[in-house]
Amino acid sequence: MSQTDTAVIDREWKRYALGERIARFVVYLALVAAVVLSIRTVEVIPDFILDAPEQIADLLRRMWPPDVASYPQEIHAALLDSLHIATVGTVLGVMMALPFGFLAARNVTPWAWLNWLARLVLISTRSINTLVFALFFVAVFGPGALAGTLAIAFHSIGFVGRLFSEALENTSPGPIEALRAAGAPGASVISFGYWPQVSPAFWSLVLFRWDINVRESIVLGLVGAGGVGMALDNALNLFQWNRVAMVLLAILGVVIAAEVAVTYIRKKII
């Protein structure tokens, strides 16, 4: 064999093409630059960092033992309120999200301007945090569970609607075309063509959202929107650390129970 033949074989093998390597390098560089810039400009007092472990240990010492007696008095009812807010908020949110999900799916709604309009609603409700919605609704409806429930519902629209429209767009067009060809009206096309194909995805994302909403409903009380967050806020403002610890333990229990319940129901129905 001549020299030129082996030159092709001897060339070093590289896993990625040049363009890919440059793109990755740029990402790494940007990341390092962002971290260095953040460290240099963020306003953190170094003494506080050194002092942090001691302060956290002190906080934990004050919290122990948890004030178990306070649970039946004021925590239990507030915790149940949080769960009610999460559930009702999820149901309302899903009901509002469904139409936008259908409108945002390109294969269900053939008008591009409607797709974009629906997508704008989904993006903006997803980008406004539950707490911001809660601040709004507390200002409009006054403090209490109504504000919290609506905050949960509105923030859920974007999440549920987006994932639902993606599930709709991933359906197979076969059954739908068959129904259309048979002259089925729009409602029948949705309930017999789309729905059977998307229902597993739908139930699983509703359960997932409920799980998230249980966690979110707990903080709502901090801005006066009902639930166990208000009990937490009271205890914090009065520096009753043992009571704070009890609220945190109760929250931990509920959140873990919700996660277990969601896993169980998901296995049962899907």
Partner 1 sequence: MGAPVNWPARIAWLVFALYFAYALSHLQLTPARFIAGLDFGYKFLAKLFPPDFQRWELLLKGLKESLEIAILASVLGLIISLPVSLLAARNLMPAWVTWPARMLMVVCRSFHPVIIAILFVKAVGFGALAGILALTVASLGFLGKLFTEAIEEISLKQVEAVRATGAPFMSVIAFGVAPQVFSRFIGFASYELDSNLRNSTMVGIVGAGGIGGTLFAAFQRFDYDFVCAIILSIIGMIIVGEVLTHVVKKVFRA
From the CB of 3, what's the least distance to partner 1, in Å?
A: 34
Nearer to partner 1, 31 or 111 (CB): 31
Nearer to partner 1, 67 or 81 (CB): 81
C-alpha to C-alpha distance for 251 and 242, rounded to whole angstroms: 14
C-alpha to C-alpha distance for 147 and 92, rounded to whole angstroms: 13
C-alpha to C-alpha distance for 35 and 42, rounded to whole angstroms: 10
Nearer to partner 1, 108 or 217 (CB): 217
Binding site for partner 1 (CB under 8 A): 20, 23-24, 27, 34-35, 37-39, 41-45, 48-49, 51-52, 55-56, 58-59, 81, 84-85, 87-88, 91, 123-124, 127-129, 131-132, 135-136, 139-142, 144-146, 149, 215-216, 218-219, 222-223, 226, 232, 236, 248, 251-252, 255-256
Nearer to partner 1, 68 or 256 (CB): 256
Nearer to partner 1, 6 or 139 (CB): 139
Nearer to partner 1, 6 or 77 (CB): 77
From the CB of 129, what's the least distance to partner 1, in Å?
A: 5
